[in-house]
Structure 1
Amino acid sequence: MPPEAAPPSPAAAKKPAKKKAAAPAKKAVPLEAKLARLGLRTDMDLVLHLPMRYEDETQVVTIQEACLHGGETSQVEGIVTKNEIAYKPRRQLLVHIDDGTGDLQLRFMNFYGSQVKQLAEGTRVRARGELKHGFFGAEMVHPHYKIVNAGAPLPTSLTPVYPAGEGLPQHVMRKAIADAMKRVDWTDTLPPRLLERLELDNFEPSVRLLHNPPPDVDTYTLLDRSHPAWTRMKFDELLAQQLSLKRAQKARRAKGSPPLSVIGELSAQFQQALPFKLTGAQQRVLDEIRADISQPFPMQRLLQGDVGAGKTVVAALAAAQAIDSGYQAALMAPTEILADQHFRKIAAWMEPLGVKVAWLTGSLTKKNKAAATQLVETGEARLVIGTHAIIQDTVQFANLGLVIVDEQHRFGVGQRLTLRNKGNENAVPHQLMMSATPIPRTLAMTYYADLEVSVIDELPPGRSPIVTRAIDQNRRDEVIERVHAAALEGRQVYWVCPLIEESEALQLQTATETHALLAEALPDLNVGLVHGKLKPAEKQAVMDAFAANDMQVLVATTVIEVGVDVPNASLMVIEHAERFGLSQLHQLRGRVGRGSAASVCLLLYQSPLGGVAKQRLMTMRETTDGFEIARRDLEIRGPGEFLGARQSGQAMLRFADLETDTWLVDRARDVASALLKDEKYLPVVEGHLERWLGGREEFLKV
C-alpha cells in the first residue's frame, strides 16, 4: 500500500478534530477613510460641507401644545413613566413620557438593549419628531432623543443636518466639522472692494452662519438657499468653476495646432455636389468653424443643433477643409449604428471626389481591421469614421488635424482625451464636438465655459411637422390598426420598446414580445426587429431592409435613438413612454418627420402616471423645440443627470442652481475674466481655486 493511503495510527485517530478558526473580526474603518469616501480630505473640505437642512432644537413645547399641532415636528421634554417591549404586531419598544400637561408615547421599531436601559422609568428625556395621533393616543415614531438633566440648556442655534455616509452619524459629522473650523485659515480669498461692488457678505461669517444659524434667522431663506450667506457660497463655487475652465481654455490656446486654412478644391466640389443648399444657420456655423480651424491654436467647439438640423454635413465640410489643408480628419460616434450612418452618408459624398474614407469599428475582422489601420497609418485614408475602436493603441494617424466627436457626452473623459492625443507630438488636433441634445444657455455657460458654442437653430426646409399624442396602453388595438393603415398607404413605422427581454422587476412590454405580437396581428406586413444584442451584421441587414422599404414596421430598442435616417418613416410608437427621459423621447421622435409626409408620434403609457412622467409627456405634446425641451428637462432632472455626469466627468455644482442663479453665473463669468486678465490678481486666483477645488482642477478640463 502506498504511504499516502496508509490507515491512520491509533494515536492519530484519538486526536480531537481541530476547531475551525474564528472568522477574523472586521477592521474598524478609520474616521478619515469614512470622510474621504465623501470627498472630505482636508479641513477646508469639511468646512465647505454645508448642511442640507436644519432642525430647530432651540425650544421645547409642552406635550399638550404639541398635541394641538399634530402632524408637525416639535420638541418636548418629560419623565419616562413606562417602558415596555411589545410584540404585536412586531417586536417594538414603547416608552411613555409625561411632562405634567399630558402623556406621549415614543415608539421604536428597531432598538438595542442599551436603549431599553437608557430609557428607564424616572429618566428625563428630550424628544423631537413628528407627533401623530394613533389608536393608543399621541405618539412619535423613532424620534430623535437625548437624556437630559432638569434645566439643561437648549441650543442657541439651529441644528445642522449634513449629507453623510455609512458609519457617519450626525453627531460625528458635527464634531468633525466643528474641529475643522478651529483649524482652517479663514482669510477671505476675494478682495474687499470686489465684495463691496458685488454686495457679497464676507466668507467667514457666511460659513459660520450656515453651520450654526441663530434661532431668529429667516429659516425659509436658509432652506431655499436665498439667504445672503448662501449667495456668497454659490458665487464662490461658480467663480472657482469659471476660473478653472477659463484657465484651461487659456492653456489650450497656448498649445500649437496645425492651421487648417485652405478651403480648396475638395471643399468647393463637395459643397457644389450637395443636392441641397445649406441653411443660413448651417452656413453661419460652418464659417465659425472654418475661422477657428484656420488658427495656429486648437479649436474646442461644441456644435449643437436640434434633431435633424443638419450637423453631419457641417462636420463633413469641416473635415474637407482639414483634408484640403493636407491633414487627416477623424469622426468618432458612440454606437456602431450611428457611426455606420455617418460613414455611409459621408463616404457617398467624399469618395466620388477622390477621398479615401476608412471604416474602423470593434466588430471588424482581424484582417479588415489591420487593413483599415494600415490606411490610417500611411495617410492614404484622409478621413476615418468609426467607434471607440479609433482610439485603440494600435491605431496611429499619419497627420491628424481635426477630431470630430458625435454625441460627445456619451464618451468618457479618458476616451475623448485619447483621441485628441492622437495628433503629432508637437501639435494638438482641432476638436469639434457635436450634440443633438441641446444644452440650455446657462448650462453651456457653466459646464462648457472653455468651449466656443455654435448652434444650428434652423431646420432644413421640407421637414414635416410632427404631431405627438399620449395614449393609454389599453388602446393598443387602436394603435395597431393605425400602424396597419399607415403601412397600407406606403408609409413605414417605428415601434420602440424599452427592454429586450422579460424583466421581473419591470413588467414592461418587451421588444421580442412586441415583435411577435405585431407579426401575428399584421400578417400581410413585413415586421422587423433590431436591438443591441444582435451582431453588427444582423443589425445592419435589418436597417438596410427598412431603409429600402422592404420592411414596413421596425420594432426596436433605443439603438435607433440617433443617426437613423429613413425619410419614408412617418409614424412612431413609443412603448411605455413614461419610462423614458425627455431628451431620449425627443431624440426618438426625431427619427420621423424627415420626409414631406405629415408625421405622428404616439406615446403609449401605463397608467396611473407619476408626477414626473406626467410632466414629460405633457412637454412632448406641447413642443417639438429641442431647446425648450432641454430647458424643461434640466428643471426636472437637474444638471448632473442632464449632462450624464458619470460619462462626462464634469463636476456638478453643489450649491448653485442653474435655474434660479443665472444672474450669479453671469457675474462669476465676468469676474473670472477680469481676474485672469491682470497678473496682479494671480494670488487671488490661486487662493480661490485652492480653497474650492484643492487640486481637483484637472477634473474640469475635458
Structure 2
Amino acid sequence: MTSPAPASRHEVTAALDAKLPGALGGRTAAAFEKAFGMRTVADLLSHYPRRYARRGELTAIAKLPLNETVTIVAEVRDVRERQMRARRGTILEVSISDGEGIISLTFFNQAYRARELRPGTRGIFAGKVTEYRGALQLAHPNYELFDPLADAAAALSGVDGAAGAALDDAAARRWAEMPIPIYPATASITSWQVAKSVAIVLDGARGGIPDLVPDDVRHERGLLTAQRAYELIHRPEKDADYMKARETLRFHEAFVLQTALVRQRRAAHAVRTTPRPPKPGGYLERFDRSLPFRLTGDQQTVGGEIARDLAGDIPMMRLLQGEVGSGKTLVAVRAMLAVADSGGQSALLAPTEVLASQHLRSIVKVLGPDLSAELMPTLHTGQLSTAERKKALLRMVTGQARLVIGTHALLSDAVQFYDLGLVVVDEQHRFGVEQRDTLRQKGTTPPHVLVMTATPIPRTVAMTVFGDLDVSTITQLPAGRKGIESFSVPLSEKPAWAGRIWQRVAEELAQGRQAFVVCPAIDPADDSGDGLDGPGPDDGAGGAGDGGSDGAGPESAVPASVPAPPKANVVDTLRLLQTVPALAGARIEALHGRMPSDEKDAVMRAFAAKEIDVLVATTVIEVGVDVPNASTMVVLDADRFGVSQLHQLRGRVGRGGVPGLCLLVTHAEADSLARERVDAVAATLDGFELAEIDLELRREGDVLGSLQSGGRSSLRLLRVVKDADVIQDARAVAFEIVAADPGLEAHPALLDALERRLRETEESFLAKN
C-alpha cells in the first residue's frame, strides 16, 4: 500500500493547524471561537454546510420553528414605511414569502434599506423567529441579497459584475441552480459570513492540504483529493460536486476513527496481566453445581469467551451486551468466581446506590450461605456510616472481600485492593471514561475489564465506538418469562384515556400484582429528573458542533400554537394517585434520587417484599431493579425519554411468572419525532431493532462527542447506521496500515489528523474505554 503524496509534519501543520487569527484576523477569529469553539483552519473547514439551497428555490415558511434562529431563502413581497406612534422615527416593515407563507422583517429608523429590499428581490435572511399579533416575524434580521448579474458573472465567468449583462440564458439558469451552502449558524454569525470566511481560508490554503488516505486506496475507491473535497463541499457548482465531496470526507472520518481504534487495540494487546483461570473444584465449579437451572445457550457461549480471555495474559477488554433480563449479571458473577479461584478480587461498579444494594442482595442469594461466607461480598457506597465504611475498606485492602460491589465511592483514593483482577462496569453509559480508568488503576497489574450494557448496540456502533473491545451478545431470555404487552397512550388525541390508565393499574393490583409509575421529574420545579442519560434530547438534538439551527427541514419544526403540558413529576403524581377512586386502599409510595440512601433502600426492600403496591419513581429504577411480582409499568410523558430509556424501563416488568404490561403515556402530537419514538418502542420488544430505530431517529454527530467524552465530536458526515460499509472498509484499510507501520511514520498527514480531529478528550476516551 503506497503512502500519500509526500508531506512533512511541518507542511501538514502549516496548512490545517494554522490559527484562525492569522487567516481571518483577530476580531473575526474571536467571534468564531466564541460561537463555535473554532481555533484553527481545520476547525473551520470541517464546519460543513448543513444543507444546500438554490436562488430559485424558497424555504417553506410554514415549517419554521418558533423562537429559534433560522436561515431561509425567500423573496421580498412588500415594503412599507410608517411613523412610530409612541416616539419619533420610522419603522420599515418588509414582507418576505416562500410563495405561500409570509414572514415580516422589521427595521427601526433604517429607511435606507428600502432601496435594496425591493419587491421581487431574493436573498438569504437570518434571525430569530418570533410571533407578533398572530403573525411570524424575524427579530433583528440579517440578510444577503442575490444579485443575478454580478453574482452570476463572478461565479461563472470569472469577470467583474459589469460583464454580467452579457450572460446568456443557459448561464443564468446555471446561476439560479447553483447550490448555496447553508451553514450551522448563530445569532451573531450568519451562514453567509461562515461562507465568506471559508472562502478566504480555502484561497489561502490552495495546494496545501495533504491527503491522509494513501494514493492507491484513494484511486481504487474513486475518492477526491483532500484539497478538492474541501473545495467542492464548500463551493460546489452542481449537486454532484458536494455529493462526491461528502463521499470522500465521510471515508476520511471513518478512516481516522478506525485507525485510532486499531492503534489502541494494538497497544492494549501489548500489555501483560495475571491469568485468572478457574481452579478444578474451586468456587466457580461449586457454584455451577449449585445452580437450580441450566444456563441459556447464549450464557454458555459468552461464558466460554470470557473464560478464555481471563485465562490469558492479555487483559480482557470485553463488552457484554444483552437484552433486559437476559442474565448478564449471572455471567459476570461466574467471571468473578473464576478470578476468585486465582486468589484475585473483582469490583462491580454500579451507577446508583439502589442498583448496587440490589446487586449485593442478589449475588449473596445466588451464591448461597457457604460461598457468601467464604467470598465475603462487600458493599461500598457513599452513604455508609463511618463504621461500615472502615469495615468495607479493611476487607478490600486485606483481600477478605473477593467480591466488591459499589458506586462511584469505589473510585475514591481511600479505596485500595489486595489483588484486583477484574473490573465489571454495569450500565457503562452511566460512567465517564476517567471514572472507569480510575478503578482500573487500582490493580497492581492491569485487571481484566468486562463492560456490561442492557442497551443493545447495533453492530455499526459497536464497530465505531467500541472498536477496540471484543463484543459478546446475549439475545436469549431465561425460560419462564411471560412477555410484555406495550401500548402507546396518546392523550393529545384520546384525553378520555387518562382515567382508564389508573383503572387498568387497579385491575393488575386486584390480581395481587404491583406497578411502577415513572415520571421524568421529581417535583414541579425540577427541570432534570434523575435520568443520567437525559430524556428526550438524546434522541432529537442536533449533532455535535452544529452551532445552532438553520430552520432547515421538518425535523426542527415545532407546532407553535400548542403549549406543552406541565412535566409529570413524582410529587404531584403521588398526590394525584392517592385521590384516584380506583386506587383507594392501594399502598402507594415514592422513590427518587434526592431521598437519603437508607430511605431509598427501605422503599425498594418494601416494594420487593410486596408491602407497597404502586411505586411512583423517577428513572432511578431504570436499570437492574428486579421485582418479579411487578407486572405493570406506566411511563408518564414517555416522549420526554429516549428510546433506550423506555426500553430499559419496560424491562422492569414481566420478569417473573406474570405477564408484563407497559403503558407509554404521551401528549406528543401524531407524526412528531417525539411521538415516533414512543410508538416505535410500543411496536416491538426487540432491543436490537429499537437500537437501529433509535439511531435512525436521532442525529448521530454525538457518537464520539459530548455524550461520550465531553468534547466536540470528530464525526460530521459519518452516519453509523447508513455507513456501515464505509466503516468496515475503512477499518480493513486501517488494520493493514497499522500492521505495516505502527508509528505511522510514512503517513504524516494521517498521524496529524489523529491528533487534530480526535482531540485530547476523545483520545482519552479511546485509550481508556
After TM superposition, the score normalised by the length of structure 2 is 0.76
Partner of 1:671: 733
SS at match of 1:646: coil
The partner residue of 1:380 within 372, 386, 400 is: 400
Partner of 1:366: 386
Partner of 1:446: 464
Task: Tell me if structure 2 keeps the 8 A contact 1:337–1:559.
Answer: yes
Whole-Å Cα distance in 2 between the matches of residues 594 and 246 of structure 1? Answer: 39
Task: Tell me if structure 1 keeps the 8 A contact 2:684–2:690.
Answer: yes
Task: Tell me if structure 1 keeps the 8 A contact 2:744–2:750.
Answer: no
Partner of 1:93: 92
After superposing the two structures, state which structure 1 stretch, 440-449 or 167-176, moved more: 167-176
- Describe the superposition over 1:400-453 as per-residue Cα deviations: whole angstroms up to 9, x where unpaired: 1110001111111211111111111xx211111000100111111111111111
Whole-Å Cα distance in 2 between the matches of residues 188 and 640 of structure 1? Answer: 23
Report the CA distance shift for 1:592/1:42 in structure 2 as closer, same or farther (over 3 A).
same
Whole-Å Cα distance in 2 between the matches of residues 509 and 36 of structure 1? Answer: 38
Between the aligned residues of both structures, percent identity stands at 39
Counterpart check, 1:432 vs 2:493: no
Partner of 2:223: 200
Whole-Å Cα distance in 2 between the matches of residues 317 and 29 of structure 1? Answer: 60
- Describe the superposition over 1:474-499 as per-residue Cα deviations: whole angstroms up to 9, x where unpaired: 32333322322222222122222222
Task: Tell me if structure 1 keeps the 8 A contact 2:359–2:405.
Answer: yes
- Describe the superposition over 1:658-702 as per-residue Cα deviations: whole angstroms up to 9, x where unpaired: 222221111111111111111299235442141354162445333
Counterpart check, 1:494 vs 2:516: yes
Partner of 1:162: 183
Whole-Å Cα distance in 1 between the matches of residues 700 and 292 of structure 2? Answer: 39
The letter for the 2-side match of 1:513 is: D
Task: Tell me if structure 1 keeps the 8 A contact 2:520–2:569.
Answer: yes
Task: Tell me if structure 1 keeps the 8 A contact 2:49–2:181.
Answer: yes
SS at match of 1:444: helix
Task: Tell me if structure 1 keeps the 8 A contact 2:703–2:715.
Answer: no
Partner of 1:411: 431
Partner of 1:9: none
Task: Tell me if structure 2 keeps the 8 A contact 1:376–1:396.
Answer: yes
- Describe the superposition over 1:183-212 as per-residue Cα deviations: whole angstroms up to 9, x where unpaired: 372222222221122222222222111111
Partner of 1:458: 476
After superposing the two structures, state which structure 1 stretch, 607-616 or 558-567, moved more: 607-616
The partner residue of 2:301 within 267, 284, 298 is: 284
After superposing the two structures, state which structure 1 stretch, 284-293 or 187-196, moved more: 187-196
Shift in Å, 1:291: 0.9
Structure 1, unaligned runs of 5 or more: 1-27, 61-71, 98-104, 131-138
Shift in Å, 1:240: 0.1
- Describe the superposition over 1:626-664 as per-residue Cα deviations: whole angstroms up to 9, x where unpaired: 111111111112335678843555846211112222211
Shift in Å, 1:363: 0.7
After TM superposition, the score normalised by the length of structure 1 is 0.83
The partner residue of 2:575 within 494, 500, 516 is: 516
SS at match of 2:698: helix
The partner residue of 1:235 within 243, 246, 251 is: 251
The partner residue of 2:692 within 621, 625, 631 is: 631
Report the CA distance shift for 1:289/1:645 in structure 2 as closer, same or farther (over 3 A).
farther
SS at match of 1:302: strand
Task: Tell me if structure 2 keeps the 8 A contact 1:530–1:539.
Answer: yes
Shift in Å, 1:284: 0.6
The partner residue of 1:483 within 493, 505, 522 is: 505
Whole-Å Cα distance in 2 between the matches of residues 314 and 633 of structure 1? Answer: 27
Partner of 2:667: 606
Matches within 5 A, 1:60-99: 73=73, 84-87=81-84, 92-94=91-93
Partner of 1:68: none
Partner of 1:7: none
- Describe the superposition over 1:3-23 as per-residue Cα deviations: whole angstroms up to 9, x where unpaired: xxxxxxxxxxxxxxxxxxxxx
Partner of 1:46: 44
- Describe the superposition over 1:96-141 as per-residue Cα deviations: whole angstroms up to 9, x where unpaired: 99xxxxxxx99532x465x5345558999964159xxxxxxxx997
Counterpart check, 1:333 vs 2:350: yes
Shift in Å, 1:244: 0.4
The partner residue of 1:533 within 581, 594, 598 is: 594
- Describe the superposition over 1:222-247 as per-residue Cα deviations: whole angstroms up to 9, x where unpaired: 4xxxx221110000010000000111
Task: Tell me if structure 2 keeps the 8 A contact 1:437–1:626.
Answer: yes
Task: Tell me if structure 2 keeps the 8 A contact 1:464–1:599.
Answer: yes
SS at match of 2:744: helix
Structure 2, unaligned runs of 5 or more: 1-24, 59-71, 97-101, 126-135, 157-177, 527-563
The letter for the 2-side match of 1:340 is: S
SS at match of 2:314: coil
Partner of 2:198: 177
Report the CA distance shift for 1:645/1:436 in structure 2 as closer, same or farther (over 3 A).
farther
Report the CA distance shift for 1:431/1:640 in structure 2 as closer, same or farther (over 3 A).
farther
Task: Tell me if structure 1 keeps the 8 A contact 2:223–2:248.
Answer: yes
Report the CA distance shift for 1:84/1:607 in structure 2 as closer, same or farther (over 3 A).
closer
- Describe the superposition over 1:339-398 as per-residue Cα deviations: whole angstroms up to 9, x where unpaired: 111111112334521101121001111222122112111212111101000001111112
SS at match of 1:683: coil
Whole-Å Cα distance in 1 between the matches of residues 57 and 645 of structure 2? Answer: 50
Report the CA distance shift for 1:284/1:523 in structure 2 as closer, same or farther (over 3 A).
same
Counterpart check, 1:342 vs 2:359: yes
Report the CA distance shift for 1:681/1:323 in structure 2 as closer, same or farther (over 3 A).
closer
The partner residue of 2:234 within 207, 211, 220 is: 211
Task: Tell me if structure 1 keeps the 8 A contact 2:487–2:664.
Answer: yes
Task: State the aligned residue count.
Answer: 636
The partner residue of 2:320 within 276, 279, 303 is: 303
Shift in Å, 1:535: 1.1
The partner residue of 1:597 within 658, 661, 667 is: 658
